[in-house]
Structure 1
Amino acid sequence: MEAPARLALWLCGGISGMNAAARELDALADAGFVAVSFDSWRRGTRAAETMAELFPRGMANFPHVVWPMLGNAALEALRILDWAETELGAKPPFFGGGHSLGGDIMIAAAGLDPRIGCVATINSTPDWRRPGMRADGKLVGPGTPDAYAQWFYDRLDPITHLAAYAHKPAMAFECGADDDHVPADGAQRFKALLAPVYGTAQNRLRVICHAGIGHEYTPEMWQNCMAWFREPH
């Protein structure tokens, strides 16, 4: 009897969509995964504006602009996993990961869906407030969410919903030690706060800070993600 397909869902950063993930999807497929991506709300072919237009708006009021993008995408990821089970024969545990905003989305999705058993991210954070975030060298203010954005935060922000990770997904964070846009501190705090939740399974949480690296996507980070996916967890 043929083994069920192992599914890996990878999301790119910013408003990049599934077409930008071709390199990662090819590598995952070569490693034996059924590799998929999708264009989440306001990203890829569903983007309502260019990155040049979105970025200054997002930095001017991060919660108002970005939290709905994170929340909608995390919820949509569940629909993609449902589809993969039905149409592709994929079975849990599912693997997920992403770069920057894409990784933020997958971290949140892992707290929503216990079918996600393994996550690997690059330059991502579980803290939607991103304290200490800078853009073009300037500190980004906390911003003010509207009711819609706050709804997502109150239900899906990973670092304030630790119990959502009681199923102990294996999560690896590849961070730039000098990243001032998505500071590594978020992943480090998340790992420490989850220690009581994970108990004796601390080896299922890993944060690697790459010295001398800012908000950059390096080959070593990607190789570490692939190695994490291959490991038995």
Structure 2
Amino acid sequence: MNNEKQRQQINGVEVTKEWVDGIPVIYAEPAEPQPERRLAIFLSGLGGKKEELVSYLSDIADRGFIALAFDLYQHGERGTAQDDVKARVFTNMRRYGWPVLGQTILDVERVIDWAVGNLEVVPQIRMGGISMGGDITICAAGIDSRIKRGAPIIATPDWLRPGMYDLFRPDRILDPGTPDRYASFFYEQFNPITHLERYANCPPLCLILGAEDNHIPPENAERFRSELAGLYPEAADRLVFHYVTGTPSNHMDIIARRNEWWEGLLDWWLI
């Protein structure tokens, strides 16, 4: 593992790569110096790699933020060529997916600590992500007060994922599987909807939801906001929902329709 800072060009975007306590990180910086060094973290979905996010990072950097991505636990450079993590997780979402979520949430803390200390960013972090990256964003927003604004995209605050259909066979309900004790630990520690008290002072979150998403149904986020409103009405008011409507607007369709929601989300998120 090379701990040296490396400059790279990925799909025409210049990024810097570093290793942070065994976590491979890439980040793009604004073209011009800014009055403050501000950080926005953006994470991929299940099976994704940090390099696939460079177009998002470029857009974020154009808004004056240091735009950072890292590989989720067991993903990208943290995985193996022999392991198709996406296929494996879908065989038992709870046993194999919950540890990916939980370990990556812990990694968010390490990366923010490192960025504040080494990139000299102000401790007022923006965070967002797609699908599982959005799930991680929602959770991190409840446990780290340095996160000031969040942008979860087609994500859920309920790790039980009721009503989840197969991503590859959208006509078939997906068996979520059974967790072992190791996986259950992460659920018990981090599942947002069973830790509503952590969101009493949560930052503003804008959730991009697919109106026809039956893999991550919008009802999961709506139920979270409804239950939060019963306990902390002002916190619930800080949750903003933007629905991508029409057909097709299932889970993967939302990513393909990025031009319909991304610029508006940036306007809201990066202020």
Q: Say yes or no: TM over 0.5.
A: yes
Pick the aligned partner of 2:58 from 23, 26, 41.
26
Question: What is the deviation of 1:210?
Answer: 1.5
Question: What is the deviation of 1:41?
Answer: 1.1
Question: What is the deviation of 1:142?
Answer: 3.3
Residues 7, 34 of structure 1: 8 Å contact kept: yes
CA–CA distance in 2 between the matches of 1:201 and 1:146?
Answer: 33
Residues 201, 235 of structure 2: 8 Å contact kept: no
Q: How many residues align?
A: 229
1:48 maps to 80
Question: What is the deviation of 1:196?
Answer: 4.2
Paired AA for residue 262 in structure 2: W
Looking at secondary structure, tell me which structure has more helix per residue. Answer: 1
With over 3 angstroms needed to count, the CA separation of the structure-2 counterparts of 1:107 and 1:200, relative to structure 1, is closer
Paired AA for residue 250 in structure 2: G
Question: What is the deviation of 1:50?
Answer: 6.9
Alignment of 1:1-233 (within 5 A): 3-48=35-80, 53-135=84-166, 136=169, 137-200=171-234, 202-212=236-246, 213-215=249-251, 216=253, 217=255, 218=257, 219-231=259-271
TM-score by length of 1: 0.91
Percent identity for Structure 1 against Structure 2: 38
With over 3 angstroms needed to count, the CA separation of the structure-2 counterparts of 1:110 and 1:15, relative to structure 1, is same
CA–CA distance in 2 between the matches of 1:69 and 1:56?
Answer: 13
SS of 2:198's partner is: helix
SS of 1:14's partner is: coil
Question: What is the deviation of 1:93?
Answer: 1.9
1:90-128 C-alpha deviation (Å, 9 max, x unpaired): 123210000111111111111221111110121111111
Residues 164, 214 of structure 2: 8 Å contact kept: yes
Name the Cα RMSD after superposition: 1.8
The answer for unaligned runs of 5 or more in structure 2 is 1-33
Structure with more relative contact order (C-alpha pairs < 8 Å, separation 6 or more): 1
The answer for unaligned runs of 5 or more in structure 1 is none
Residues 191, 206 of structure 1: 8 Å contact kept: no
CA–CA distance in 1 between the matches of 2:106 and 2:231?
Answer: 23
Paired AA for residue 223 in structure 1: E
Residues 200, 235 of structure 2: 8 Å contact kept: no
SS of 1:208's partner is: strand
CA–CA distance in 2 between the matches of 1:24 and 1:42?
Answer: 22
